Amino acid sequence: MDRKGFTLLELMLVLGIIAILTAIVLVAINPTKQLNDAKGVSRNAAIREIENALSQYIIDGNTVSSLPAAINLAVDICQTAVTGTDCTNPPVSGYDLSALSPDYLVSIPVDPTETGSTLTGYKLYRSGSFNKVCSPVLDTDCGN
């Protein structure tokens, strides 16, 4: 009798090889690291965007006051819709940058991992004569 097809052993061997190759490829690609790297790039772009908007705001003759003078004292930045005392008074105690919207920023960027509806996940401080923005996810000294 001439039977055509694969034996169970041959199928199991091929599936085992495919599983091993899949594991090697996943380890080499490391999708979690790739995703975290992409979020880091997004955070850096958001930081530069806020800093550039602040610089333009100041160039246009406006002022930004009462910023802490060290990264470890950086204050939280509130989301665009959170303004005035809703931003600056406890329990939030953030910094209101709503004046930047819509002329300098469409809306203040929010960190990809920020789940609340009040803060952006970014912090603001002054370094010399420069207003700086930092992310606690990227910089452990930010606001600590």
Statement: residue 1 has pLDDT above 80: no
The residue extents of the domains of the chain are 11-134
Overall average pLDDT of the 34-53 stretch: 87
- Tens digit of pLDDT for each residue in 48-58? 999 999 989 88
Overall average pLDDT of the 64-91 stretch: 83
Which pLDDT score, from 0 to 100, does residue 82 have? 82
More confident residue, 64 or 18: 18
- Tens digit of pLDDT for each residue in 100-122? 888 888 888 988 887 778 888 89
Which pLDDT score, from 0 to 100, does residue 20 have? 94
Which pLDDT score, from 0 to 100, does residue 143 have? 74
Overall average pLDDT of the 83-104 stretch: 83
* pLDDT band at residue 13 under the 50/70/90 scheme: very high
Distance CA 33, CA 14 (A): 29
More confident residue, 24 or 85: 24
- Tens digit of pLDDT for each residue in 127-141? 888 888 888 888 888
